[in-house]
Amino acid sequence: MRPWRSNSSSRPDVDQPAAINERLAETYPDAHCELDFRDPFELLVATVLSAQSTDRRVNAVTVELFRRFPTPPALAEAEREEVETIIGPVGFYRNKTTAIIGLSQRIVDEFDGEVPGSLEDLVSLPGVGRKTANVVLGNAFGVPGITPDTHLIRLANRFGWVDSTKPDVVEESVGALFPPDEWVMLCHRVIWHGRRCCHARRPACGACPVAELCPSRDIGEQDPAKAAKLLRKPRA
């Protein structure tokens, strides 16, 4: 990868990240969290379930999960076997069952049945790390945060914004390039671009809206027609 560098500094060109963000905003004006949720509790549970699974699969199981257990008190008292049966398709369902029942119990016991709105409190819940906490804070509480999921980590490296796959390093490095009020939407745009164009194995560089700004623009399919066939449409 050719890292994007300015002529006078060893850090990424400060104009290039802003330009990419602007171009992605034009390309994905409707970018948003693709997990279905109606309140902070549903988003918290859905995000825990999304680990090593797809949003589409999580959305398919949470319809029934939240019908049966719509609140922290309800899920805190759920039978493990029933929860495991419902969320089985998302994978790692035993560990995830332990986590979502455990976090529900903690919310009931320590937070009066309400999902806490601070990073410190959220990461104290079973199965909740900084990534999950930032998803909930940004999308349910409007608190700025960087969500270093696999797409953001991959694209931040390809864009030359960071040279690390460690989530905490990516979170800090990407956050330093943008004002906090851009963090949440930036993550949505980059994640959408990662899912739809800048794929892990075969990025559609020839049809990429930010190719001219990207130091990794030569790693994927270059032919525009072939690249266009690699693009994926947003979920209906």
Cβ atoms of 27 and 231 closer than 8 Å: no
91 DSSP assignment:
S
List 13, 55, 96, 131, catalytic entry: 131
CA proximity to 158, closest of 221, 211, 226, 195: 211
> How many helices (H) and strands (E) in the chain?
12, 0
The token pair at 223 is 């032919």
Q: Let me know if 229 is a catalytic residue.
A: no
List 13, 55, 96, 149, catalytic entry: 149
CA angle 42, 120, 107 (to 5 degrees): 40
Instruction: Bin 115: left if φ > 0, else alpha if -120 < ψ < 50, else beta.
Output: beta
Measure the CA dihedral 35/40/46/48, to 10°. Answer: 130
**Looking at the annotation, which residues are catalytic?**
131, 149
